[in-house]
Amino acid sequence: MNKKQKIVIFGAAGVLLCLIGLIVALIVNNNDNTQAVNDAQAKADSLAVINDQLILTNEFNQLSNEFSQFEGQEIKLDNDSIVRKYNQARMKVEGLIKELNAEKAKTAKDQKDIAAMRSKIKQLEGEIGTLKGIVRHYLEEIKRLDDENTGLKQEVQQVQQKNQELSTQVTQATASNQQLAQTVQKAKMLNITGVSLAAYNKKGKPEKNVTKAKSLGVHFIVSPNNTAAPGMKTFYIRILSPEGSLLGGGGSFTIDGKSVEATASRSAEYANEELPMTIYWDVNTTLTPGDYTVEVFADGYRLASRHFQMNK
């Protein structure tokens, strides 16, 4: 082999070595670029997953706040099944969020880690969807019961108003009945007319000088009254002196549940016809001129009260 051939061979080998080096460098550089692309893609996917988690976590917090505003109103429900379902769903969501937070603390190195996180995000979406439905149903139940309670309150108010009206009607009817009873009682009460007071001497003759009187007589006429009960009637008189003292000695009678002293009394048969009556009182004290008061009673009623001037 001559020198020229050696130069050609060594030159070709050098070129070949350069080409091989270049190819190796290109392969190494390509591998580095692929790894960089894969790393960038993994980071982007990881950030997307974290963003989804933040959105879902924020949605969960909003649901929790919305539910907490009505927490404690489950007593309005017939049972606590809705609240129990809500608590179960909430615990699942909180567990998934904790798991995702733990995964987030790690750096996702490959698509396998990203896929696992995406699977949990998908599960979290489903659980939050369930939670939404439960909260919506819960709030609808609360609103329905509030509407029912409002209706019941209105019914109670209407019933109370009717009861008040009935009570007023009963009160008015009672008062009317009482007035009617009083009217009937008054209608049954005996009526007297012509009440007079006279003084008499020891011979039973009229005496003008009251200081010389030996007896006093109260005269009146019982009028006919078909509504009054016929039968034996006892009439009581009370005579008050000008000094206001009772001329007593005639026993006592009852009126308005109280015992009252009488001046004198007399009984007679009443047959719903006119009945003249005179009741006498024997003088047992010194009488003085002046204004005398005469009261007549029968059947528990005061039939008359009159004033008479007795002179000396």
In a domain, 284, yes or no: yes
- Statement to judge: residues 8 and 100 lie in one domain: yes
* 267-280 average pLDDT score: 94
In a domain, 159, yes or no: no
- Statement to judge: residues 196 and 125 lie in one domain: no
Backbone dihedral region for residue 180 (phi beyond 0: left; psi -120 to 50: alpha; all else: beta): alpha
- Statement to judge: residues 9 and 137 lie in one domain: yes
Average pLDDT, the chain: 77
CA dist., res. 199 & res. 16, Å (int) = 176
Model confidence over 143-166: pLDDT tens digits? 787 787 787 778 878 888 888 887
**Which residues face 277 on adjacent strands?**
220
Q: Tell me the HSE value of 109 on the side-chain side, using a 13 A CA sphere.
A: 1
Number of domains in the chain: 2
In a domain, 173, yes or no: no
In a domain, 175, yes or no: no
Per-residue pLDDT at 115: 74
User: Would the pLDDT of 136 be above 60?
Assistant: yes
Contact between 288 and 211 (Cβ < 8 Å): yes
- Statement to judge: residues 134 and 22 lie in one domain: yes
pLDDT band at 127 (very low <50, low <70, confident <90, very high): confident
DSSP secondary structure letters along 177-217: HHHHHHHHHHHHS--EEEEEEEEE-TTS-B-S-GGG-SEEE
Per-residue pLDDT at 235: 96
What is the span of the domain harbouring residue 287?
A: 192-310
Kindly calculate the radius of gyration of the chain based on its CA atoms and give it in whole angstroms: 60
Beta strands in the chain (DSSP E): 192-200, 215-222, 231-240, 252-255, 258-261, 264-270, 275-282, 290-298, 301-310
Model confidence over 52-111: pLDDT tens digits? 666 767 766 776 666 666 555 554 555 567 777 777 777 777 776 777 676 665 555 556
Per-residue pLDDT at 183: 45
CA dist., res. 112 & res. 91, Å (int) = 27
- Statement to judge: residues 252 and 137 lie in one domain: no
- Statement to judge: residues 63 and 117 lie in one domain: yes
For residues 173 and 133, the model is more confident at: 133
User: Nearest-CA neighbor of 126 among 92, 98, 100?
Assistant: 92
Q: Which of 132, 147, 162 is the last residue of a domain?
A: 147
- Statement to judge: residues 102 and 231 lie in one domain: no
Q: Which of 83, 118, 147 is the last residue of a domain?
A: 147
Per-residue pLDDT at 4: 57
In a domain, 184, yes or no: no
Read off the CATH number of the domain in which 260 is found. Answer: 2.60.40.10
User: Would the pLDDT of 184 be above 50?
Assistant: no
Model confidence over 206-242: pLDDT tens digits? 999 999 999 999 999 999 988 888 999 999 999 999 9
pTM of the model: 0.46
In a domain, 156, yes or no: no
